[in-house]
Chain A
Amino acid sequence: MQEWANHLCENRQFGSKMTDSKYFTTTKKGEIFELKAELNSDKKEKKKEAVKKVIASMTVGKDVSALFPDVVNCMQTDNLELKKLVYLYLMNYAKSQPDMAIMAVNTFVKDCEDPNPLIRALAVRTMGCIRVDKITEYLCEPLRKCLKDEDPYVRKTAAVCVAKLHDINAQLVEDQGFLDTLKDLISDSNPMVVANAVAALSEIAESHPNSNLMDLNPQTINKLLTALNECTEWGQIFILDCLANYTPRDDRESQSICERVTPRLSHANSAVVLSAVKVLMKFMEMLPKDLDYYGTLLKKLAPPLVTLLSAEPELQYVALRNINLIVQRRPEILKHEMKVFFVKYNDPIYVKLEKLDIMIRLASQANIAQVLAELKEYATEVDVDFVRKAVRAIGRCAIKVEQSAERCVSTLLDLIQTKVNYVVQEAIVVIKDIFRKYPNKYESVIATLCENLDSLDEPEARAAMIWIVGEYAERIDNADELLESFLEGFHDESTQVQLQLLTAIVKLFLKKPTETQELVQQVLSLATQDSDNPDLRDRGYIYWRLLSTDPVAAKEVVLAEKPLISEETDLIEPTLLEELICHIGTLASVYHKPPSAFVEGSRGVQHKRLPGSAGSGESESPDAGSAGGVSEAPPAVIPSQGDLLGDLLNLDLTPPTATGPPPPSSGMQMGAMDLLGGGLDSLMGDESEPPHIPPRTHTPQSPQLPHQSPSPPDYSPTELGGDLGGSPAMGSGFGGPPAAMPASFSAPVSGGLDDLFDLGGGVGMPMGAYSPPKTIWLPAMKAKGLEILGTFARRAGVIQMEMTLTNKAMSVMSDFAIQFNRNSFGLAPAGPLQVLTPLSPNQSIEVALPLNTVGPIMKMEPLNNLQVAVKNNIDVFYFSCQYPISMLFVEDGTMDRQVFLATWKDIPNDNEAQFQIKDCHLNSDAASNKLQGSNIFTIAKRTVEGQDMLYQSIKLTNGIWVLAELKVQAGNPNFMVSLKCRAPEVSQCVFQSYEAVLKN
């Protein structure tokens, strides 16, 4: 500091510049006193200068906490710059002066109400950074206001502040309901606010892994994907990292998310690209490999990964560490990209070493010549670590690509001829490995190796050489002399060399007993009597006893055939690899260690796993979780007597039977695939060992049904066939007769499966939501020749407006755009209307417009009325249409049984509406299945006097719950529906949907 200050003083003397640096110059004694006086000055300018001096002192590490009250006194100012400085001071010193920090609270609270949004945001941002308990209490009210502020700049700052507060006092945040407000912000209209809310929630969820905060469902995912297109590069990273934690329900959802994430691969920011790669690598696990899209995705991943190598060196390093993982998981992605990993002279050493590693992983028969030429070039460089690794790499190539072994060995011999000490030693170490892979093939080189015996000074090389001499003692004439020469300095050798020498001499003795008896006695006594190393002593004793009791046995033991070493010794263990793939871009992926290995307090945290692997997923996936929940209390266990309320109460009293096998008729209301995933997985979890799945052969995605004949309608038989064929381990686990299973499990499993077959085979149930046929919304005569037919559909959790635009005019139409009027549920286009080519006369085009429900709200009459404006190059046209309210039924509309019961009782009877559905020829199960396709979930069923009562729940996008009781009597085509809802006005619409769904 002194130096700096002096230097700056000089500057000032020469009058060189008048910059902030002048504030660093006051270092005389009595400075604090002087500053105090200046801080209390009446002149604004002087005050500000004084505060700057204080901050300057703080910056260079001087303690200026004594000035706390004086600085805080300057806080009430309308000068923003001064305010910021005071705030900065507060952040630094409040913790050391908690009592005095209270003095600042009033100003903070006042500033949070300031008309200037910059000041409001600044206040709430700073308050969150003051980690003093007493202050946090006062923070709640201002924070609550700021979370609802009209200015997005304030809201986005407040969102982050919730995470700050949670870090200081988690309980307080929960009690105050801030978490809910934060979740609401995910639906905010401003993408920056959404991004910060996601970041804050992720942060909180990470520190509280069991809080289940980020209950990601298709609807929130859709919101996130929409915001992804609009927010800043950093926001995109937050959202992508959050998406990576989601487990899609099936391959279709997985594909649709992938499709919306792939454009991010073209972002200029490397971090955005890597986060997108993470999402894609993870979700790709769920795609069937024979899907065209799977191949497309693989192809799309390579170019951006290669481009990452043109980034700044540090980012290159992160990219290379991740590519190392990706290459192990999916070698096909980069198999043709060897050249880009060739090392450049000016690459930093850390980049060079990583490139080398990847080169070896990509080495194959096709490119080995090129790789070897490069490696040889590197081996003549000067950087010792790099050269060593290059030599080692040559050895690894020999082991990996058998056809190249000979070439590798001759390259290594060339390198040994250079006589560069460390090159020779490294070469000998790898030649030992080559001998172990290809025994009795390259022994001709031993003579050359022996010539270099004297130059070896590293233990590893010495040990390798001794191993070679011992192993091939019978072919080396002077093996005894060579080994004897090592024996002289036995005690100075490292343990590694000592052990190797001991074994080698014993081998030599077993091969040439006559000449070497003396030698072996010498080494045995050195090892057993003169050594303090227990390992060495033990090994010595074992040999000694073996040799003295049964030399034949000794020969069998010591000269036993050794297993060949495999090429894959350096691969990351498959489960770790899976976990690391989920952490692409993070420190874990750089270290190649799970986060639990280097982050404190993260032990016991659920390890991330790729979706679709056996025994995984249920803890992460909310869907799988609810699948388990359903199987705990299936409709069939409802007693058939007594009134509904009593029944339900009984049900709730029975403890959840998480470990019990699912009763036979489980899971009627769940999607077939969900049931399979959740149900069987949880079964597997009961067993002590999950079935082992070979890491590379196949990524199992619910292939647990090998003997299945009628497949669920989602899957074409060929797809399933492909999957099953590729999964031998699963086949043997489940494909065998039930007897192969533990007895207690076989029954429920097969029961569950049978049920499924009923489900799948019984009714040809439509899995997707019901979508009415297209109707004419805008006739051509009303719109200067533009005709619009349309309907609404809900596909994979996304509401879509599907239209056929027809040009019935004589001229070309273009520049289409669409807008909605405010409507009851805030429906709004999630993107622009994608009519990309102009519409020529008599041409039609199909357009699907994804919608969201975050638009402005106004109650319409009828409720599901939507007023639309469509513009083209000719004019603007208006029309209105009605959407089936079932579009708004969300996927997570299964209400907890107990809640259902309480809610049903709670809603006044006045709100109940009864309807009759005539001429519906379905049995209750089929009806339930059909309704489920449109997200009307049966959560309980009972039968009274031949009449089936289905209790169903529906959740609308705006969080409104509708409870229903559907009465179905066998043989009677007329159904009765009773609907209860806190907002009774929706009942009519809901009823219409019931009717439409059931009758179509």
Chain B
Amino acid sequence: MSASAIFVLDLKGKVLICRNYKGDVDMAEIDHFMSLLMQHEEDGLICPVMSHGNVHFMWIKHSNLYLVATTNKNSNASLVYSFLYKLVEVFTEYFKELEEESIQDNFVVVYELLDELMDFGFPQTTDSKILQEYITQEGAKLEVAKSKVPTTVTNAVSWRSEGIKYKKNEVFIDVIESINVLVNANGSVMSSDIVGSIKLKTMLSGMPELRLGLNDRVLFALTGRDKGKTVVMEDVKFHQCVRLSRFESDRTISFIPPDGESELMSYRINTHVKPLIWIESVIEKFSHSRVEIMVKAKGQFKKQSVANNVEVRVPVPSDADSPKFKTSTGHAKYVPEKNLVVWTIKSFPGGKEFLMRAHFGLPSVENEELEGKPPITVKFEIPYFTVSGIQVRYMKIIEKSGYQALPWVRYITQSGDYQLRTNDDAHRLSCDWPACDLSNVCKLLSETVQCGSHRANVFSNADKLSWSGLHLKITGRWKEWDRNLDDTVDPDEPHKAAR
């Protein structure tokens, strides 16, 4: 049905650790893995499934490791990949980093985990918080901690243990929307969508029942309410804890949350989004002599909002040299190992326009290798704002002990897969760029001239919200949930006095 054995290999293909679950595939078969992979790589046809005789390898790569599952049956491939990624998740939560060293340093725990995560090829308990209750890293604690199976393992609520206690009961809700945009070289938006994610940081005692209310149009239609702006979610995915059949029948999002941080749900909205940061570019390549790049960025969001940490990444030929930049705001850097110019703008108010100009030299001997046409990519975050207009209308928290709990909400919009294709067609000036008017350009460009001798930027991963940094900055603006505001929205609770 699933995997016969699981292997963790280093980059050379040496087995670091493995577990044979079913014994129907010769463990020595793994020796073929590396040569197969290299063969595929040579042919330019890398594929996540490879076979050698009757044995099929399904693999993923994580940092300097390959995680490989073997089978000789018609396995459920999607289950195997999901499981391999789950493995990465569990190991990462156990060891902080999953890499060659952490496997070696913790091989006893790795064996224990492999034993508990999967049995005879069937994935079992894979929730690392629950696993940590009975598979601990410090041998000393073992005797006490491991004497009993946590009932959570086999409970219907397999993601939360009983008896959790907090002095102050709070839930933090992060609504994060990522914008995916693909813009063609001629400036037309080929595809755009919003992928939203609602993340929880739950610090609640006991076994609380939570109910989350959003301004979901389907829900409002169901309950016959028409109150303000609603949002149509094309597709919604929920954490294991959410009662799916309940949602299917009446769109109620009800759940017992996992403790600590978790992603409660994600959704996809297919509406046509106006790209929040619009980029127009002219990349002129004069072979054997130079490349001239002009980029205009425009904030197409409301004036009150500000986009933070904006990075516009413009591709340059790999053989470019002697960079020179001019920017009307922010600063630009050349990152030669990625063949990019990175233009950083710390704070980008809505409705504003900025310009960047770059100049590179090209060697007189042309690069033989054909280069692709990487797109311009943009990264940004806009706090206190969601593109879709989604809102948390209420969060009900009911626990049998009857404590009062505070929900906090925070919204942010950020770039997802944000790509604008470029026209590197030499000498074809884009005529739809009015700002090309030189006097205008000169006015806009400040005196900033930077050279590429700067150290390469280490890009922060904008996908991951750094809670600590941002938290501090906006703590003052945390808005406590006003319970009276929207109480009428909740269909299930007519008499709130009961609480």
Interface residues of A (CB under 8 A from B): 4, 8, 17, 19-21, 23-24, 52, 55-56, 59, 61, 79-81, 84-85, 88, 91, 116-118, 121, 125, 128-129, 131, 151-153, 156-157, 160, 163-164, 167, 190-193, 196, 199-200, 202-203, 206, 229-234, 237-238, 241, 260, 262-264, 266-271, 274-275, 303-304, 306-307, 310, 312-315, 317-319, 339-340, 342, 344-346, 348-350, 370, 373-374, 377, 380-385, 583, 585-591, 595, 598-600, 602, 812, 814, 831, 834, 836-838, 873
Bound form: Cα–Cα A241–B104 in Å: 36
Interface residue SS majority, chain A: helix
Of residues 54 through 69 on chain B, the ones whose CB sits less than 8 Å from some CB of chain A are: 54, 56, 58, 60
* Stretch from B114-122, B334-342, B350-358, B456-464 that touches the partner: B114-122
Stretch at the interface among B199-207, B273-281, B371-379, B434-442: B371-379
B149 near A117 with CB under 8 A, answer yes
| With known contacts A190-B154, A233-B240, A587-B77, A270–B248 Cβ distance under 8 A | no
Chain A residues, Cβ within 8 Å of B248:
262-263, 266
Partner pick for B46 among A8, A233, A349, CB 8 A cutoff: A349
Cα–Cα distance between A24 and B250 once the two chains are bound (Å): 57
Cβ–Cβ contact B421 & A350, under 8 A: no
Q: Could you list some 27 contacts between A and B, CB below 8 A?
A: A20-B105, A20-B107, A79-B142, A81-B142, A85-B108, A88-B115, A190-B154, A192-B153, A202-B1, A232-B126, A238-B1, A262-B248, A263-B248, A266-B248, A267-B244, A304-B235, A312-B81, A315-B85, A340-B191, A377-B184, A381-B373, A382-B371, A585-B76, A585-B77, A588-B74, A599-B74, A812-B495
> How many angstroms from the CA of A318 to the CA of B240 in the assembled complex?
22
Q: Shortest Cβ distance from B388 into chain A, in angstroms?
A: 15
List residues of chain B with CB within 8 A of the CB of A271.
76, 78-79, 81-82
By beta carbon, the residue of chain B nearest A259 is: B248
Secondary structure type dominating chain B contacts: mixed
**Which of B78, B190, B237, B374 contacts A585, CB < 8 Å?**
B78
If A167-B24, A266-B248 are given as contacts, then 14 extra A-B residue pairs at C-beta distance below 8 Å, sorted by A number, are: A19-B106, A117-B148, A118-B147, A153-B149, A153-B153, A269-B240, A271-B76, A344-B419, A348-B46, A382-B373, A586-B75, A587-B75, A587-B77, A602-B74
* Top 3 A-B pairs, shortest CB-CB distance: A303-B235, A19-B105, A263-B244
Please choose the segment from B15-23, B401-409, B467-475 that sits at the chain A interface, where 4 or more of its residues have CB less than 8 A away. B15-23
Complexed CA–CA distance, A190 and B156 (Å): 8
Contact of A314 among B60, B153, B265 (CB under 8 A): B60
Task: Assess whether B125 is interfacial by the CB under 8 Å rule.
Answer: yes
Distance between Cα atoms of A216 and B309 in the complex (Å): 58
Instruction: List, in ascending order, chain A residues with CB within 8 A of B153's CB.
Output: 153, 192
Instruction: Name the contact of B373 in the complex, choosing from A231, A262, A380 (C-beta under 8 A).
Output: A380
Decide yes or no: A125 and B119 within 8 Å by CB, A88-B111, A271-B79, A600-B72 being known contacts: yes
Q: B: which residues have CB within 8 A of A?
A: 1, 15-17, 20, 22-24, 44-49, 51, 54, 56, 58, 60, 71-79, 81-85, 101, 104-109, 111-112, 115, 119-126, 134, 139, 142-143, 146-149, 153-154, 156, 158, 182, 184-185, 190-191, 193, 195, 234-240, 243-245, 247-250, 252, 263, 265-266, 268, 370-375, 417, 419, 421, 491-495, 498
> Could you tell me if B81 and A153 are in contact, using CB atoms closer than 8 angstroms?
no
Bound CA span A975–B106, Å: 77
- Cα of A864 to Cα of B248 in the assembled complex, Å: 34
Residues of A within 8 A of B16 (CB): 59
Chain A residues within 8 Å of B495, by CB: 812, 814, 873
A312-B375 contact in complex given A350-B46, A350-B48, A587-B56, C-beta closer than 8 Å: no
Min CB distance A819 to B, Å, is: 17
| Cβ distance B102 to chain A, nearest Cβ, rounded Å | 9
Residue pair A315, B81 in contact (C-beta under 8 Å)? yes
Min Cβ gap B179→A in Å is: 13
Report whether A192 and B112 are in contact in the complex, using a CB–CB cutoff of 8 Å. Answer: no
**CB neighbours of B146 from chain A (8 A):** 80-81, 118
Which of B54, B77, B120, B124 is within 8 Å of A234, CB to CB?
B124
Docked Cα-Cα span, A229 to B234, in Å, equals: 23
Residues of B within 8 A of A346 (CB): 417
CB atoms of A836 and B492 under 8 A apart: yes
Return chain A residues, CB-CB under 8 Å to B250: 836
Q: How far is the CA of A405 from the CA of B13 in the complex (A)?
A: 49
Residues of A within 8 A of B75 (CB): 586-587
Known contacts A310-B195, A377-B184, A241 near B148 by CB under 8 Å: no
Whether the Cβ atoms of B108 and A268 lie closer than 8 Å is: no
Contacts of B148 in A (CB 8 A): 116-118
Q: Which residues of A contact B109 (CB under 8 A)?
A: 20
Does A61 contact B237, Cβ atoms closer than 8 Å? no
Closest to B156 in A: A230
CA distance in complex: A625, B369 (Å): 65
Q: Looking across the interface, which residue of chain B has its beta carbon closest to that of A225?
A: B245
B76 touches A241 (CB 8 A): yes
Give chain A residues whose Cβ lies under 8 Å from the Cβ of B124.
156, 196, 232, 234
Alpha-carbon gap, A794 to B492, bound state (A): 30
**Which chain A residue shows the least CB distance to B153?**
A153
A151 partner, pick from B149, B372, B373, beta carbons under 8 A: B149
Contacting A598 at CB < 8 Å: which of B51, B78, B245, B492?
A: B51
Q: Which B residues are CB-close (under 8 A) to A129?
A: 23, 120
CA distance A310 to B194 in the complex (A): 11
Inter-chain contact A55/B107, CB cutoff 8 Å: yes
- Judging by beta carbons under 8 Å apart, are A269 and B182 in contact? no
- Chain A: CB-nearest residue to B117: A234
State whether B54 touches A342 (Cβ < 8 A): no
Q: Is the CB of A382 within 8 A of B143?
A: no
**Which one of B72, B106, B185, B245 contacts A377 once the chains associate, using CB atoms below 8 Å?**
B185
Q: A268 and B190: CB pair below 8 A? A: no
Whether B154 and A266, one on each chain, are in contact in the complex, defined by CB atoms closer than 8 angstroms, is no
Contacts of A52 in B (CB 8 A): 108
- A266 and B236 contact, Cβ closer than 8 Å, known pairs A271-B82, A306-B268: yes
* In the complex, chain A residues whose CB is within 8 Å of the CB of B106: 19-20
Partner of B247, one of A20, A263, A834: A263
A88 to B104, CA, bound (A): 17
Q: Which of B20, B58, B235, B494 has the most CB of A within 10 A?
A: B235
Residues from chain A with Cβ under 8 Å of B104 in the complex? 4, 8, 19-21, 24
Task: Tell me which of A56, A307, A310 contacts B107 (CB under 8 A).
Answer: A56
CB-based contact A306/B235 at 8 Å: yes
Query: Nearest chain B CB to A243's CB is how many angstroms away?
Result: 13
Nearest CB of B to A187, in Å: 16
CB closest chain-A residue, reference B24: A167
Q: Pick from A59, A118, A268, A385: contact of B240, CB below 8 A.
A: A268
> Are B78 and A270 in touch, CB under 8 angstroms?
yes
Question: Complex Cα distance A572/B404, Å?
Answer: 60
- Name the contact of A192 in the complex, choosing from B83, B158, B373 (C-beta under 8 A): B158
- Which chain A residue lies CB-closest to B416? A310
Which of B72, B74, B115, B374 meets A586, CB within 8 Å?
B74
- Closest chain-A Cβ to B207's Cβ sits at a distance in Å of 16
A121 partner residues in chain B, CB cutoff 8 A: 149
CB of B484, distance to nearest CB on chain A (Å): 19
Given the complex, which residues of A lie within 8 Å of B240, measured CB to CB? 232-233, 267-269
CB distance from B27 to the nearest CB of A (A): 10
A314 neighbours in B (Cβ, 8 Å):
48, 58, 60, 81, 84
Closest partner residue, chain B, to A339 (CB atom) = B191
Are B154 and A590 interface neighbours, CB within 8 A?
no
Q: How far is the CB of A947 from chain B (nearest CB, A)?
A: 52
- Shortest distance in angstroms between B42's beta carbon and chain A's nearest beta carbon? 12
Tell me, in angstroms, the Cα distance from A116 to B134 when the chains sit together: 13
Q: Which of B23, B47, B122 is within 8 Å of A160, CB to CB? A: B122
Alpha-carbon distance A313/B59, docked complex (angstroms): 11
Q: How far is the CB of A813 from chain B (nearest CB, A)?
A: 10
CA distance A200 to B124 in the complex (A): 13
A349 in contact with B45 (CB, 8 Å): yes
Partner of A599, one of B72, B112, B126: B72
Given A345-B419, A380-B373, A587-B71: A84 and B111 within 8 A (CB)? yes
